[in-house]
């Protein structure tokens, strides 16, 4: 796909309209180790069915991670599920080449799902009819003891009241985004944007700007504001062996929550990848970790929102300088974008 075509991608009523990202599927070689990590990361266990565990945040989705035991002795990513905007859109998804109807009536919240193969032999899932949780009016009171306002240099709204916090995991709100390093970047872009309402938010190119190498996608819901990206694709280097999942990312409430969660994970001796820092594209405050299975997983807070009026940027990839305006210096060689 040429750079000019990527910039010209638009939504249309013929495509399957998705309303939001919902959950991901992961298999772990040692599910017991991941169970402890899940608690320390801030997930809430919903239900166990055999060797499968459903975890949620405090948002409206009945679960945001489905974790099970890998029979291959290695980590496996089973794709992400998105909610169809209407039942008609779900029916459209069933007609995409290779789509298979999957029974999820037994899962928390029930509903139905169709699984669709991508060009790189991964799976993309569309769901409909799940019973949602009540939308929270405020985050859980597990870390912040008080509801006092934040005093700034010029605005001192909190007077005679004190900020008090507890140590503990950072409660996860929802699944925010995921992405792939793709050996078939152009084909993957074509798959997601021709079948669904994914449109570019921002694009990174090579130095000559003659090839797109990274694209952040949001769901086009017209004038409704949505997260800056729920999907991203990175063009794999020539020597890269195969397409692989890059990272999954989960929203937490605010900067204090994120830093307390960061400190909690450090004290539990989990492997830090990169963070805490502030992204440029998307603006999220980020914090990347390696879970016991080897997946990269992120806490984020304060991300940008965009709608159909958003102007897509296309700039050369400057390496770390394109990713963060500030960040902790510790970083692994394959950390996240």
Cα first-last separation, the chain: 22
Phi-psi domain of 50 (left: phi exceeds 0; alpha: psi -120 through 50; beta: other):
left
Cβ contact 281:310 at 8 Å: no
> Long-range contacts of range 11-15, CB-CB < 8 Å, 24 or more positions apart?
11/197, 11/199, 11/220, 15/92, 15/194, 15/195, 15/196, 15/197
How crowded is residue 129: how many other Cβ atoms within 10 Å of its Cβ? 15
Tally the domains of the chain.
Answer: 1
- Name the residue range of residue 113's domain: 17-131+167-327
Domain-located, residue 45 = yes
Cβ contact 291:320 at 8 Å: no
Domain-located, residue 152 = no
Domain-located, residue 93 = yes
Listed in sequence order, the DSSP H helices in the chain are 3-7, 31-41, 87-94, 185-195, 255-267, 320-323
The helix (run of H) or strand (run of E) holding residue 174 is strand 174-182
Per run of 10 residues, the mean pLDDT along the chain (length 337 residues) is: 78 98 98 97 97 97 98 95 98 98 97 97 97 88 74 88 90 98 96 98 92 96 98 92 95 95 97 96 97 98 97 88 82 47
> What token pair was written down for 178?
């995921």
Domain-located, residue 336 = no
Residue 289 CA to residue 298 CA, distance in Å, equals 6
DSSP calls for 90-119: HHHHHTSTT-EEE--TTSTT--EEEEEE-T
Domain-located, residue 88 = yes
H/E/C letters for each residue in 59-96? CCCCCCEEEEECCCCCCEEEEEEEEECCHHHHHHHHCC
> What token pair was written down for 96?
């995409």
The backbone torsions φ and ψ at residue 98, rounded to the nearest 5 degrees and listed phi first, read 85, 0
pLDDT of residue 337: 43
Q: Hey, is 260 helix, strand or coil?
A: helix
Domain-located, residue 54 = yes
Residue 124 CA to residue 316 CA, distance in Å, equals 29
Which of the 8 DSSP states describes residue 16? B
H/E/C letters for each residue in 151-172? CCCCCCCCCCCCCCECCCCCCC
Domain-located, residue 2 = no
pLDDT of residue 330: 58
Residue 281 CA to residue 203 CA, distance in Å, equals 9
Cβ contact 198:218 at 8 Å: yes
CATH assignment of the domain containing 98:
3.10.180.10
pLDDT of residue 3: 63
Comparing CA positions, the residue from 65, 194, 201 lying closest to residue 118 is 194
Domain-located, residue 5 = no
Rounded to whole angstroms, what are the CA distances from 146 to 59, 102, 142, 155? 21, 44, 10, 19
pLDDT of residue 336: 45
Rg of the Cα atoms in the chain = 20
pLDDT of residue 112: 97
């Amino acid at each position: 796909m040429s750079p000019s075509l990527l910039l010209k991608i638009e939504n249309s009523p013929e495509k399957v309209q998705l309303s939001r990202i919902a959950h991901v599927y992961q298999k772990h070689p040692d599910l017991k180790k991941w169970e402890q990590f899940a608690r320390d990361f801030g997930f809430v266990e919903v239900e166990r069915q055999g060797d499968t565990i459903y975890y949620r945040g405090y948002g409206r989705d009945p679960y945001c991670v489905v974790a099970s035991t890998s029979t291959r002795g290695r980590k496996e990513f089973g794709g992400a599920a998105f909610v169809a905007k209407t039942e008609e859109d779900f029916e459209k998804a069933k007609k995409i080449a290779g789509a298979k109807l999957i029974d999820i009536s037994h899962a928390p919240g029930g509903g139905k799902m169709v699984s669709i193969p991508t060009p790189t032999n991964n799976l993309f899932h569309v769901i409909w009819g799940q019973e949602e949780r009540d939308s929270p009016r405020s985050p859980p009171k597990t870390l912040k003891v008080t509801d006092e306002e934040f005093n700034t240099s010029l605005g001192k709204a909190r007077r005679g009241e004190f900020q008090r916090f507890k140590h503990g995991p950072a409660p996860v709100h929802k699944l925010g985004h995921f992405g792939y390093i793709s050996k078939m970047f152009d084909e993957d872009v074509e798959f997601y944007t021709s079948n669904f309402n994914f449109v570019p938010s921002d694009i990174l190119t090579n130095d000559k700007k003659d090839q797109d190498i990274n694209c952040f996608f949001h769901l086009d819901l017209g004038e409704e504001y949505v997260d800056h990206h729920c999907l991203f694709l990175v063009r794999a280097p020539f020597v890269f062996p195969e397409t692989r999942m890059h990272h999954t990312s989960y929203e937490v409430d605010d900067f204090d929550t994120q830093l307390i969660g960061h400190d909690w994970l450090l004290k539990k001796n989990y492997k830090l990848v990169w963070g805490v820092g502030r992204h440029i594209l998307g603006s999220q405050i980020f914090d990347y970790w390696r879970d016991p299975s080897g997946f990269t997983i992120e806490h984020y807070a304060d991300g940008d929102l965009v709608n159909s009026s958003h102007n897509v940027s296309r700039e050369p990839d400057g390496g770390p300088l394109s990713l963060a305006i500030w960040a902790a210096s510790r970083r692994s060689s394959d950390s996240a974008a």
